[in-house]
């Protein structure tokens, strides 16, 4: 018997959101780990808010919504709020009921920017890694480090000399030329009535002013972006085009390839090694236990290798062809070759962050905001891998 195609409005729904999500959905395990991690940060959240005033958006819901935006590659907060309005899976993950109103995008953005600082993003990542189900997956002896470029939200036209006065508006590429002034008609003469008189052509002005950089020498010492002064002109590979960018850094454990530390700095030739030392100290401060650190040839510098040895860290760094700081004391051991194989797995979080997490080009401006976004993206990358790792 053929069914009827008639839609009738329902006044009430007796099905809970929990019953609508399949039992084997990956978000179930992710939500459980996130909720346990946020519960351990309850004292941290209490210290950020006062006991009086208008209630803000719950910090737990803010963080769950931010993770959801990264996991599902939602490009803006406005689109996130739109999808949360009709997507029952998103409502269930964030903690909203079917009849609960979603937030205004600007209100959500303001509350999130006040909460998700770099310090809070690191605490969220640490709480996820300290979960009882996640901690056994981590190695506490073997690590790898690497860096990647994150394109800044600034165009090359904004890279202007520092001694030039800034424009009135950061996003204004230049005022268009004034329109041509037509001569005024004689008011004494009556207007002539014509039926086939064509309308005057209005000259179209370009949206952005044309800029020619040919023959102009530009460097970070003499120029800066008026859109994002923290961005730096940099290229990582010889022969590649320089771009305004930041440099993201991660410290990965070698057992399952989970990111245990993340950082973001100005893009320059020394930031990778400096960030590696800082991330090791932050991950295990004052540790005297012998650990290994795998890295590529960019970390093969005498000062960096000497600092690692002083910190009781064995430098499993790839050797340069000439003037290498790595000698036979390190390369003769079988663990060196194993670290060189495992360190290449660190490119997977970078690829995930740029294709899924939206870090190919950041939508934020300022070093602190981009660093917090990069850290939260790496925490989301770990969460995306946990359902399969825990099921194995």
Q: Which of 148, 152, 183, 205 is nearest to 351 (CA)?
A: 148
157 touches 173 (CB < 8 A): yes
Percent of the chain clearing pLDDT 70 (strictly above)? 88
Q: Three-state DSSP class for 16?
A: coil
56 touches 49 (CB < 8 A): yes
Given a cut of 50, whether residue 273 has pLDDT beyond it is yes
Q: Which of 112, 98, 2 is nearest to 64 (CA)?
A: 112
Q: Three-state DSSP class for 166?
A: coil
Percent of the chain clearing pLDDT 90 (strictly above)? 68
User: Which H/E stretch holds residue 245?
Assistant: strand 243-253
For residues 132 and 277, give the distance between their C-alpha atoms in angstroms, rounded to a whole number.
28
Pairing of strands 291-295, 142-151: parallel
Give CA torsion, residues 3, 8, 12, 16, to 10 deg: 40
Q: 128 or 192: which carries more pLDDT confidence?
A: 128
DSSP 163: T
Mean pLDDT, the chain, rounded, equals 88
Average pLDDT over residues 98-117: 93
Domain ranges of the chain: 17-115, 139-155+228-375
Q: How far is CA 301 from the centre of its chain?
A: 29
In which region does residue 366 sit, left (phi positive, over 0), alpha (psi from -120 to 50) or beta (all else)?
Answer: left
113-169 pLDDT, tens digit per residue, is: 999 999 999 999 999 999 999 999 999 999 999 999 999 999 988 998 888 776 655
292-322 pLDDT, tens digit per residue, is: 999 999 999 999 999 999 999 999 999 998 8
Query: Is 139-155+228-375 a CATH 3.40.50.970 domain?
Result: no
202-217 pLDDT, tens digit per residue, is: 666 556 667 777 777 8
Determine the pLDDT at residue 173: 47
Highest average pLDDT, of 16-20, 137-141, 190-194, 202-206, comes from 137-141
Given a cut of 80, whether residue 222 has pLDDT beyond it is yes
Q: 155 or 191: which carries more pLDDT confidence?
A: 155
């Amino acid at each position: 018997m053929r069914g009827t195609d008639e839609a009738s409005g329902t006044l009430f729904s007796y099905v809970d959101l929990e019953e609508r999500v399949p039992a084997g959905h990956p978000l179930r395990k992710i939500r459980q780990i996130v909720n346990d991690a946020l519960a351990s940060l309850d004292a941290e959240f209490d210290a950020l808010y006062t006991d009086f005033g208008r209630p803000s958006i719950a910090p737990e819901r803010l963080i769950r919504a931010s993770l959801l935006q990264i996991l599902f590659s939602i490009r803006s907060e406005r689109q996130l709020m739109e999808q949360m309005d009709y997507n029952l899976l998103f409502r269930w993950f964030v903690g909203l009921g079917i009849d609960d109103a979603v937030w205004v995008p600007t209100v959500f953005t303001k509350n999130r920017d006040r909460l998700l600082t770099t310090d809070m993003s690191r605490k969220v990542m640490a709480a996820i890694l300290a979960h009882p189900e996640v901690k056994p997956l981590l190695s506490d002896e073997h690590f790898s480090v690497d860096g990647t470029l994150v394109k800044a939200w600034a165009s090359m036209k904004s890279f202007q000399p520092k001694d030039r006065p800034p424009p009135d508006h950061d996003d204004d590429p230049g005022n268009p030329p004034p329109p041509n002034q037509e001569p005024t008609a004689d008011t004494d003469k009556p207007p002539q009535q014509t039926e086939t008189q064509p309308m005057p052509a209005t000259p179209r002005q370009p949206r952005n002013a044309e800029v020619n950089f040919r023959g102009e020498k530009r460097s970070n010492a003499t120029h800066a972006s008026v859109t994002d002064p923290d961005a730096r002109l940099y290229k990582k590979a010889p022969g590649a085009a320089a771009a305004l960018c930041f440099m993201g850094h991660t410290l990965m454990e070698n057992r399952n390839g989970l990111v245990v530390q993340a950082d973001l700095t100005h893009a320059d030739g020394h930031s990778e090694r400096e960030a590696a030392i800082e991330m090791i100290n932050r991950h295990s401060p004052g540790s005297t236990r012998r650990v290994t650190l795998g890295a590529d040839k960019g970390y093969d510098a005498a000062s960096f290798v000497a600092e690692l040895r002083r910190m009781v860290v064995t430098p499993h760094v790839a050797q340069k062809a000439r003037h290498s700081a790595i000698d036979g004391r390190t390369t003769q051991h079988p663990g060196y070759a194993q670290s060189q194989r495992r360190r290449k797995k660190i490119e997977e979080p970078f690829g995930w962050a740029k294709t899924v997490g939206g870090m190919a080009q950041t939508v934020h401006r300022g070093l602190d905001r981009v660093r917090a976004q990069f850290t939260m993206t790496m925490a989301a990358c770990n969460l995306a891998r946990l359902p399969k790792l825990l099921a194995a």
